[in-house]
Homo-oligomer: A and B are copies of this chain.
Amino acid sequence: MATQSVLTPQNEDFPRWYQDVVAKAEMADNGPVRGTMVIRPYGWAIWERMQAEMDARIKEAGVQNAYFPLFIPLSYFQREAEHVEGFSPELAIVTHAGGEELAEPIVVRPTSETVIGEYMAKWIQSYRDLPLLLNQWSNVVRWELRPRLFLRSSEFLWQEGHTAHASYEDANAFATKIHLEVYNDFLVNVLAAPTYLGIKPASERFAGAINSMTAEGMMRDGKALQMATSHELGQNFARAFDIYFQSEAGQAELCFTTSWGASTRMVGGLIMMHGDDQGLVVPPRLAPIQAVVIAVRDEPEVNEACGRVAASLKAAGVRVQIDRGRGSFGRRVTDWEIKGVPLRVEVGPRDLKDGVVSLVRRDNAEKLTLGLDEVSVKAPGLLEEMQADLLAGATTRLTDATHDVENIDEAIEAAETGFARLDWSKVGVSGEAALKVHAITVRCLQRRDATMPLAETEPDLDCIVAKSY
């Protein structure tokens, strides 16, 4: 059944399409303070699933969760010069509490880097305490003048991992492991999101980092979104926060630290990578609701059949919800399409007489007519097929819209509709400046075989350039 879209078409106005989806899929609302957001139950359920999947991988990597305070003394931001430069215009400052003006202003954390550094210094004594592998799930605040729900908000939610190691090699290996086995594994295998893995050029690095790894995804308008990032901080932060350890030889040595994060921006990435003119499309492995069983009409036999089908789907391990037949069927179908639920089972009184129901896939609108008992037999396979198809589709779009080019001018042209790939030696600092005029940035540097280099100084690197969120 062709349903008329209630959203602005993507190719008419992509930003408005995005806004429409966020509102009509009931993902989020603007908060009362400018730049803040209210994450509504459906948006939250998706973030909760992202958290669960990433958290399991983070724990599997041997990392322990902990929690550090929201409030950080302003003086902490003055210890690491590059760090404070990276953050100061974005800080929100508490000056009054307990009915009094505070002696020292307090910063609402923009990241917990500094305070975690402070405690690492306390907790690490000897090489036996290393590696120290910590992670925290929390809210952070970075004042945002041009807010956009999920993509740029003054408060956002994220996880930030912070680790300390005895050597450069160990820190590099661990940051790489997180990048590949936590982030990219989640992105590819759960979010069905193909990415370009690489490192940032010096100009785009996290303040204070010696190396920033990134996973860049392509949105349906051809722009890039950084999906997750892992930083090697060398000994910079350890030096600023006195994170020393006693080596096996009894020497006091500085640690090497890493940090890595993924945030609610990823929800924006999900929307823009897989969404279409009918709304959100949620990959089955991520979906909080994998199948919705819809009663065409509010009649006892129909509702009874819905309950039976839903129970069999649940028993087959499918996350399922029932939509009892209150209100217009067509409108409810449209609403579930906008929410991007992978499978729709439509149970109508006429079909029921023949003992069948309709099953519709959200991504390609393919419709099957199945016996009541067949639904739960077919559904798990269909979900896996859809998962694979979404990844394949997004991979094709990424590949097709990535243009190998020879020079800056061609890169600028290619970035109008997608990504450009070119020899990094043909870009450099001056090339970056020329691109910036057109709001294009170097998203990442890769080896010729598309793997991540250890450093920008490696020979024979490509760069991926694009406009970005």
* A66 to B94 Cα, complex, angstroms: 26
Tell yes or no: A58 within 8 A of B by CB. Answer: no
Tell yes or no: A325 within 8 A of B by CB. Answer: no
Tell yes or no: A218 within 8 A of B by CB. Answer: no
Which chain A residues in 36-91 approach chain B with CB under 8 Å? 36-41, 44-45, 47-48, 64-73, 76, 88-91
Residue of B nearest to A141 (CB): B70
Q: Given contacts A64-B41, A67-B44, A134-B41, are A32 and B73 in contact (CB under 8 A)?
A: yes
> Is there an interface contact between B99 and A89, defined as CB atoms closer than 8 Å?
yes
* A65 to B38 Cα, complex, angstroms: 12
Tell yes or no: A128 within 8 A of B by CB. Answer: yes
> Is there an interface contact between A119 and B71, defined as CB atoms closer than 8 Å?
no
> Is there an interface contact between A89 and B98, defined as CB atoms closer than 8 Å?
yes
> Is there an interface contact between B67 and A157, defined as CB atoms closer than 8 Å?
yes
Tell yes or no: A358 within 8 A of B by CB. Answer: no
Tell yes or no: A108 within 8 A of B by CB. Answer: yes
* A79 to B72 Cα, complex, angstroms: 30
* A45 to B59 Cα, complex, angstroms: 11
Q: List the B side residues contacting A128 at CB < 8 Å.
A: 326
> Is there an interface contact between A66 and B44, defined as CB atoms closer than 8 Å?
yes
Which of these, B69, B92, B143, contacts A36 with CB under 8 Å?
B69
Tell yes or no: A96 within 8 A of B by CB. Answer: yes
Q: List the B side residues contacting A122 at CB < 8 Å.
A: 29
Tell yes or no: A33 within 8 A of B by CB. Answer: yes
Which of these, B36, B47, B88, contacts A99 with CB under 8 Å?
B88
Tell yes or no: A302 within 8 A of B by CB. Answer: no
How far in angstroms is the closest Cβ of chain B from A456?
Answer: 31
Q: List the B side residues contacting A41 at CB < 8 Å.
A: 64-66, 134
> Is there an interface contact between B65 and A45, defined as CB atoms closer than 8 Å?
yes
How far in angstroms is the closest Cβ of chain B from A289?
Answer: 12
Q: Interface majority SS on A: helix, strand, loop or mixed?
A: mixed
Which of these, B32, B69, B95, contacts A93 with CB under 8 Å?
B95
Max chain B Cβ within 10 angstroms of own Cβ: one of A73, A93, A155: A93
* A122 to B28 Cα, complex, angstroms: 13
Residue of B nearest to A90 (CB): B98
Residue count of chain A within 8 Å CB distance of chain B: 55
> Is there an interface contact between B38 and A70, defined as CB atoms closer than 8 Å?
no
Residue of B nearest to A91 (CB): B97
> Is there an interface contact between A39 and B67, defined as CB atoms closer than 8 Å?
yes
Q: List the B side residues contacting A141 at CB < 8 Å.
A: 70-71
How far in angstroms is the closest Cβ of chain B from A236?
Answer: 20
Chain A window 123-150, contacts with chain B (Cβ cutoff 8 Å), 1 for yes, 0 for no: 0000010000010001101010100000
Which chain A residues in 174-227 approach chain B with CB under 8 Å? none
Tell yes or no: A240 within 8 A of B by CB. Answer: no
Tell yes or no: A118 within 8 A of B by CB. Answer: yes
Q: List the B side residues contacting A119 at CB < 8 Å.
A: 29, 38
Which chain A residues in 96-131 approach chain B with CB under 8 Å? 96-99, 105-106, 108, 115, 118-119, 122, 128
Q: List the B side residues contacting A330 at CB < 8 Å.
A: none
Tell yes or no: A31 within 8 A of B by CB. Answer: yes
Q: List the B side residues contacting A71 at CB < 8 Å.
A: 31, 33, 36, 92, 141, 154-155
> Is there an interface contact between A93 and B96, defined as CB atoms closer than 8 Å?
yes
Contact sample, A vs B, 15 pairs, CB 8 Å cutoff = A32-B69, A32-B73, A32-B76, A32-B118, A33-B71, A38-B119, A39-B67, A45-B65, A69-B155, A70-B141, A88-B99, A93-B94, A93-B96, A98-B145, A138-B139
| 7 smallest beta-carbon distances between A and B, as pairs | A36-B69, A41-B64, A31-B69, A98-B143, A39-B67, A92-B97, A93-B96
